[in-house]
């Protein structure tokens, strides 16, 4: 395992990664609000990046998930439509 290096370059890289995750979260939240205003979407749904539709989590092969912020789960999965890897929020 590589030991952490606290150089400015590495710190800016980590900040860019965190910023990317939050930008993706906000993009998806805006899309969900436009798709179904004033509704609470089910936790068992995932958003397909390739065509913008929602699908049941049971219909995908999940690769892994992580919790970038409390109360939100970011799932990486294989899309049932295009067989590519996608990421989508799944709220807890």
* Strand runs labelled E in the chain: 45-47, 54-56, 61-69, 72-78, 85-91
**pLDDT tens-digit map of 13-71:** 666 777 788 788 777 777 766 666 545 454 688 888 899 888 888 888 888 888 887 77
Cβ–Cβ < 8 Å for 31, 52: yes
Q: Where are the domains of the chain?
A: 8-91
Chain centre to alpha carbon of residue 79: 13
Per-residue pLDDT for 83 more than 60?
yes
pTM: 0.51
Model confidence band, residue 92 (pLDDT cutoffs 50, 70, 90): very low
Q: How many angstroms separate the CA atoms of 77 and 79, rounded? A: 6
Higher pLDDT, 92 or 21: 21
């Amino acid at each position: 395992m590589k030991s952490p290096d606290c150089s400015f370059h590495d710190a800016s890289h980590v900040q860019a990664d965190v910023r990317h995750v939050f930008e993706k979260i906000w993009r998806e939240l805006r899309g969900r609000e436009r798709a179904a205003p004033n509704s609470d979407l089910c936790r068992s749904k995932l958003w397909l990046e390739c065509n913008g539709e929602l699908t049941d989590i049971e219909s995908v092969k999940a690769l892994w998930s992580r919790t970038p912020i409390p109360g939100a789960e970011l799932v990486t999965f294989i899309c049932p439509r295009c067989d590519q890897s996608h990421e989508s929020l799944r709220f807890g």
